[in-house]
Structure 1
Amino acid sequence: MTISEEEIKKRFTFTNIELFHEYENKNKSIILLYAHYASWEWSLTLGFYTKFAGFGIYKKIQNQYFDKMVRDIRSKFGAELIDTKSTVKRVKENQEKGILGVYGFISDQTPSRQKAKYWDEFMGHVVPIHTGGENLARELDMNVLYMKVMKTKRGHYEATFIPITDDIKSLPVNEVSKLFIREVEKQIYEAPEYYFWTHKRWKFRKEKAQ
Structure 2
Amino acid sequence: MARLFSLAAISFFFLAFQAVAGSSLPVTRSIGAPVGFGAACAKYKWLCGRMAAQQRKDGAGIGLLQRINRAVNLRIIPAEDRPSSGNRDVWSLPVAGRGDCEDYALQKMKDLIEAGFPSNRLALSVVIGPHDQNHVVLIARTDGGDFVLDNLTSAVRPWRMTGYTFLATQDFQSRTGWRVTLAGPRAGEFS
TM-score (norm 2): 0.28
Task: Give me the TM-score of the superposition, normalised by structure 1.
Answer: 0.26
